[in-house]
Chain A
Amino acid sequence: MNLATKLLQISLAVFIFSANSFANEVNLYSGRHYDSDEQLYAKFTAETGIKVNVISGKGKALMQQIITEGASSPADLFVTVDAGNLWKAEKEGLFEPIDDFDASSIKIRSVVPDNLKGPNTTWVALAKRARIMYYNPRTVSAAELEGLTYEDLAKPEWNGRVVIRKSSNMYNQSLVASLVANHGVEATEAWANGLVSNMARKPEGNDRAQIMAVANGEADIAVANSYYIALMLSGKKGAEQQVAANKVVPYFPSQDGRGTHINVSGIGMLKLGPNKDNALRLIEFLLSETAQNHIVNNSFEYPLLEGVNPHPLIAQFGTDFKQDQTPVSSYGEFNPDAVKLMERVGW
């Protein structure tokens, strides 16, 4: 019993300590889990003396936590890897518009294009990723690729040849939501139905597993995010994946139409956060050339800032491809519709 009492006392002391806060800091709830992000925040601290505190978790869960905590929440910034989350947080009224802060907003606004930020700059994109296709050059002909769009994958000539991950994945939800934004629910559902019947297998695994399936000959074409090919080629994920990556060719769809589907990592400043000035400085820093270079060189995403080049491993596949201008915020708006229709067709 004595030991127990002592441990309880110690733990209480730790609780009080851990709840205490340092003065010059900024608190981040982050849905991005890259080790390289920690190095990035360390750079910011070295430059400004502002300590960056991070809790990383699932985007939606962190958002709900911010809502639940309300005025008690220590969070200043919310970072997420899907535009839908940013839209939802904005709808919930969690973000403080950056436009209200004159000096900072001019700098931030000049960098971020309109389709990649929230109304009144409630949030901004930090980096872009494209949802592209990967094909097996031995089984897919040049003629088949001619003008290929996402919509085309539902056509009968792709029967039994397509792999894509589950409908529970947010990147798929965003892609389908963008189709809903452009074609409406009914047409998109018909498309999804066709796509499901064209699938080479029941959806399983992550994006890299789809690319591996094409490399192994299980399917002819896969839909997956752009940075995976660079990650696999880099050898960071092992020799096996490096070999596989060399067996597939990335393809940027819909170049004759709307353009390739783009999603973003983004950040928003929270209305009830205690350290607004520091939060703005961190956003500015993340949009600086140093930070953008750091991001693209580690995560192989596309930069937001003009003049910063993507990493050579991803840039080799082209950087001037046509990007879909559908506002990324519409992904959030149509996300529930997208999920429902995917569940209806058994994706």
Chain B
Amino acid sequence: MSYKNFFDPWIILPTILFAIFVVPVVWIISSLFGEYSDNWTHIYNYTLSNYIYNTIFIIIGTSIGTLIIGVGSAWLVTTYNFTGKNILEWALLLPFAVPPYILAYTFTGLFDSYGTANNLIRDIFSLPHEFIFFPKLRNVYGASIVFSFTLYPYVYLVSRMAFINQSRSIMEVGRTLGFSKFKVFYKIGIPSIRPAIIAGLMLVLMETISDFGAVEHFSVNTFTTGIFSTWFGLYDFHTAKQLAALLLIVVITFLVLEKYSRRKNRYSSGSNVFGPIVAEKLRGSKNFFASLFCMLPVFVGFVLPNIQLAYWALNYKLEFFNEKFITTAWNTFYLAIITAIICALLAVIINFSIRYKKNKILNILSSFLTVGYAVPGLILALGVSQLLVFMDNLLFREYLDFVLTGSLVGLVLAFIIKSFALANSTIESGFLRINTRLDDVARTTNTSGWKLLTQIHLPLLTTSFLTSMILVVSEVIKELPASLILRPFNYDTLAISTYIYAAEERMFDAAAPSIAIVGVGLLPIIILSRLTVKSRPGYRNNDSHYQSY
């Protein structure tokens, strides 16, 4: 990079933005350069191997689960017609609205030895009191199941978008070669969308790693519960931060590796191969199993927990839905929208800079921001506090009666860092789909910089932009332990109402706000499902274009 480039606004702007947002992450990692307390001996000797073992087990289990459910159902609804497909293709996104810890709580409510489901089985078959039908879920297997059924929509969404955008002609080649349906799927369908699947899987894994609520409820010790037991139990925040930093370094390594591996495989297809998807009609048992395969995740990840929640809420805490609820719901939605807009804009600016200025350093560095998704919320929140206090002292205290500490700024900042990965993955793949030749043509007509971004790229990015916003919205609505300590006084959101009760396993009290989270989260999900279908190139000319095909 020459010195001239250094002063280019398309280098400076994204770099400054990046610098602000990355401070809290750097603050966590910087703890590794501090002192190491005696507690490390205890952690190393007694708990670390258990944390690592369980974490890896859950990561592998969740990967397998989300891949089978996510990719499998995406392939089915894209390629075939079967009973209920029109509903299932958007219903498969519904578990997005259910945070893993809420599924965990409802699962134990249902399947514990004396939970609803076991009681029901005993009642129906008049079985003895000691008879337990459903196996115990409070273990690594249960945790993997919970994460698989709540997080597979990330994989489903990216796979589905990728399958929709996939060239049909290569599938047809497969069929003419005499491949079976399944062989087309795993020999041709999957390999050509592998980068998308891996990007979706990375999101799943980062959320799995940072989860505290579900694994704590299942009494499974993971790396993240270890961070909290060091902080809350050993009263050692510094060592907790160091553990978090180690976790982040592992995640960053994976992110960089993923970026690196993707550079070698550029999958592209000619622009004229997007023939209409003619979904094949399935019949008989194939029809039945395809329906069942796509219905199961919706049932387990959405219907079942909501039945249990509704049962709890109706019995115990209906007065939650009062006028205060409206404020709380509005706060939640407002925060989510603001965060989503900023997140998406930030992702656009950073990715545009990477593309337009071929800014390789920023490309690698942006992994440091993406990694915010894997940071346990409370630790991230304290990093943000640190930044706010610093900025307050630097900027405001002398001149203005205006402080950032305790304002919504901190909250939004934390959400942005936490959910940037979601916005980034969609925007990044959106940019990849825009042919670089377009940029070259634009340059010849003197369209560059701001004009190139707003007049050429942004219109082509509309779907990606909205998708990234919606992902962030649904993330902010459900997942916010960070907000517990960063929010202004007396400021409640739905997730706070849920979390405060759920953290103490007061599920009856938490049920009503949980249902509200699901309800508020549904709207963006329904919009999202509409967008996914439209994301196929040339969709807008659908009627005229395809009819003349």
Which residues of A are at the interface with B, using a C-beta cutoff of 8 A?
1, 4, 7-8, 11, 14-16, 18-19, 27, 33, 53-58, 60-62, 64-65, 68-70, 72-74, 84, 88, 166-168, 170, 173, 202-206, 208-209, 212, 216-218, 236-238, 332, 335-336, 339-340, 343-344
In the complex, what distance in Å separates the CA atom of A19 from the CA atom of B385? 14
Listed A/B pairs (16) with beta-carbon separation below 8 Å? A7-B337, A8-B338, A11-B338, A18-B491, A57-B500, A60-B232, A64-B237, A65-B381, A69-B389, A72-B393, A173-B233, A205-B112, A237-B508, A335-B235, A336-B236, A343-B42
Complex: chain A residue closest to B315, CB-CB: A238
Q: A18-B408, A238-B315 are in contact. List 4 more A-B contacts (CB 8 A).
A: A68-B382, A168-B228, A204-B219, A237-B508
B113 neighbours in A (Cβ, 8 Å): 216, 218
In the complex, what distance in Å separates the CA atom of A202 from the CA atom of B219? 9
Q: Chain B's nearest CB lies how many Å from the CB of A72?
A: 4
B410-440 contacts to A, CB under 8 A, are 412
B337 neighbours in A (Cβ, 8 Å): 7
A56 neighbours in B (Cβ, 8 Å): 484, 500
Which of B138, B216, B392, B501 meets A33, CB within 8 Å?
B501
Q: A33-B501, A343-B42 are in contact. Are A65 and B338 (CB under 8 A)?
A: no
| Chain-A contact segment, one of B13-21, B177-185, B399-407, B512-520 | B399-407
B112 neighbours in A (Cβ, 8 Å): 205
B62 within 8 Å of A (CB atoms): no
B504 neighbours in A (Cβ, 8 Å): 33, 206
Q: Chain B's nearest CB lies how many Å from the CB of A265?
A: 14
Contact of B405 with A73 in the complex, beta carbons under 8 Å: yes
Contact of A55 with B485 in the complex, beta carbons under 8 Å: yes
A27 neighbours in B (Cβ, 8 Å): 489
In the complex, what distance in Å separates the CA atom of A205 from the CA atom of B409? 36
Contact of B505 with A205 in the complex, beta carbons under 8 Å: yes
B165 within 8 Å of A (CB atoms): no
Which residues of B are at the interface with A, using a C-beta cutoff of 8 A?
39, 42, 46-47, 108, 112-114, 129-130, 138, 216, 218-219, 225, 228-229, 231-237, 315-316, 337-338, 341-342, 345, 378, 381-382, 385-386, 388-389, 392-393, 402-409, 412, 454, 484-485, 487-491, 500-501, 503-505, 508
In the complex, what distance in Å separates the CA atom of A202 from the CA atom of B412? 40
Contact of B389 with A68 in the complex, beta carbons under 8 Å: yes
Complex: chain A residue closest to B45, CB-CB: A344
In the complex, what distance in Å separates the CA atom of A167 from the CA atom of B108? 20
Closest 3 CB pairs of A and B: A53-B489, A57-B484, A339-B233
Contact of A55 with B138 in the complex, beta carbons under 8 Å: no
In the complex, what distance in Å separates the CA atom of A55 from the CA atom of B411? 13
Q: Chain B's nearest CB lies how many Å from the CB of A177?
A: 10
A53 neighbours in B (Cβ, 8 Å): 489-490
Main secondary structure of the interface of A (DSSP, over half): helix
Q: A1-B454, A19-B402, A56-B500 are in contact. Are A168 and B409 (CB under 8 A)?
A: no
In the complex, what distance in Å separates the CA atom of A220 from the CA atom of B219? 21
Q: A58-B378, A168-B225, A173-B233 are in contact. Are A216 and B114 (CB under 8 A)?
A: yes
Which of B219, B408, B485 meets A14, CB within 8 Å?
B408
B218 neighbours in A (Cβ, 8 Å): 204
Contact of B489 with A7 in the complex, beta carbons under 8 Å: no
Contact of A65 with B382 in the complex, beta carbons under 8 Å: yes
Which of B47, B378, B393, B491 meets A343, CB within 8 Å?
B47
A14 neighbours in B (Cβ, 8 Å): 408
Contact of B229 with A168 in the complex, beta carbons under 8 Å: yes
Contact of A68 with B385 in the complex, beta carbons under 8 Å: yes
B409 neighbours in A (Cβ, 8 Å): 15
Contact of A72 with B389 in the complex, beta carbons under 8 Å: yes
Q: Chain A's nearest CB lies how many Å from the CB of B169?
A: 38
Contact of A33 with B405 in the complex, beta carbons under 8 Å: no
In the complex, what distance in Å separates the CA atom of A342 from the CA atom of B491? 37
Contact of A336 with B405 in the complex, beta carbons under 8 Å: no
A73 neighbours in B (Cβ, 8 Å): 405-406
Which of A7, A203, A336 meets B233, CB within 8 Å?
A336
Contact of B382 with A339 in the complex, beta carbons under 8 Å: no
In the complex, what distance in Å separates the CA atom of A218 from the CA atom of B403? 55
In the complex, what distance in Å separates the CA atom of A344 from the CA atom of B403? 45
Contact of A19 with B382 in the complex, beta carbons under 8 Å: no
Complex: chain A residue closest to B335, CB-CB: A11
Q: A168-B229, A206-B505 are in contact. Are A74 and B406 (CB under 8 A)?
A: yes
Q: A7-B341, A61-B484, A72-B389 are in contact. Are A339 and B234 (CB under 8 A)?
A: yes
Complex: chain A residue closest to B390, CB-CB: A72
B315 neighbours in A (Cβ, 8 Å): 238
Contact of B382 with A64 in the complex, beta carbons under 8 Å: yes
B490 neighbours in A (Cβ, 8 Å): 53-55
In the complex, what distance in Å separates the CA atom of A264 from the CA atom of B201? 45
In the complex, what distance in Å separates the CA atom of A166 from the CA atom of B484? 24
Contact of A54 with B508 in the complex, beta carbons under 8 Å: no
In the complex, what distance in Å separates the CA atom of A287 from the CA atom of B489? 24
B229 neighbours in A (Cβ, 8 Å): 168, 339, 343
Contact of A16 with B341 in the complex, beta carbons under 8 Å: no
Q: A202-B219, A343-B46 are in contact. Are A74 and B235 (CB under 8 A)?
A: no
In the complex, what distance in Å separates the CA atom of A11 from the CA atom of B413? 13
B378 neighbours in A (Cβ, 8 Å): 58, 61
Complex: chain A residue closest to B229, CB-CB: A168
In the complex, what distance in Å separates the CA atom of A54 from the CA atom of B236? 26
In the complex, what distance in Å separates the CA atom of A56 from the CA atom of B114? 32
Contact of B389 with A70 in the complex, beta carbons under 8 Å: yes
In the complex, what distance in Å separates the CA atom of A19 from the CA atom of B129? 57
Contact of A65 with B233 in the complex, beta carbons under 8 Å: no
Q: Chain A's nearest CB lies how many Å from the CB of B245?
A: 16
Q: Chain A's nearest CB lies how many Å from the CB of B12?
A: 20
Q: Chain A's nearest CB lies how many Å from the CB of B489?
A: 3
Q: Chain B's nearest CB lies how many Å from the CB of A96?
A: 20
Contact of A58 with B406 in the complex, beta carbons under 8 Å: no
In the complex, what distance in Å separates the CA atom of A336 from the CA atom of B235? 7
B487 neighbours in A (Cβ, 8 Å): 55
A15 neighbours in B (Cβ, 8 Å): 407-409
Q: A19-B406, A335-B233 are in contact. Are A65 and B385 (CB under 8 A)?
A: yes
In the complex, what distance in Å separates the CA atom of A64 from the CA atom of B231? 10
A7 neighbours in B (Cβ, 8 Å): 337-338, 341
Contact of B503 with A58 in the complex, beta carbons under 8 Å: yes
Complex: chain B residue closest to A72, CB-CB: B405
In the complex, what distance in Å separates the CA atom of A15 from the CA atom of B408? 5
Contact of B316 with A238 in the complex, beta carbons under 8 Å: yes
In the complex, what distance in Å separates the CA atom of A332 from the CA atom of B338? 41
A332 neighbours in B (Cβ, 8 Å): 235
In the complex, what distance in Å separates the CA atom of A209 from the CA atom of B489? 33
A344 neighbours in B (Cβ, 8 Å): 42, 46
Q: A237-B316, A343-B42 are in contact. Are A60 and B382 (CB under 8 A)?
A: no
Complex: chain B residue closest to A74, CB-CB: B406
Contact of B389 with A336 in the complex, beta carbons under 8 Å: no
A237 neighbours in B (Cβ, 8 Å): 316, 508
B488 neighbours in A (Cβ, 8 Å): 18-19
A70 neighbours in B (Cβ, 8 Å): 389
A208 neighbours in B (Cβ, 8 Å): 505
Contact of B408 with A11 in the complex, beta carbons under 8 Å: yes
In the complex, what distance in Å separates the CA atom of A92 from the CA atom of B507? 34
A204 neighbours in B (Cβ, 8 Å): 138, 218-219
B406 neighbours in A (Cβ, 8 Å): 19, 69, 72-74
A217 neighbours in B (Cβ, 8 Å): 129-130
Q: Chain A's nearest CB lies how many Å from the CB of B510?
A: 11
Complex: chain A residue closest to B489, CB-CB: A53
Contact of B385 with A58 in the complex, beta carbons under 8 Å: no
Contact of A4 with B345 in the complex, beta carbons under 8 Å: yes
Contact of B404 with A19 in the complex, beta carbons under 8 Å: yes
In the complex, what distance in Å separates the CA atom of A88 from the CA atom of B388? 24
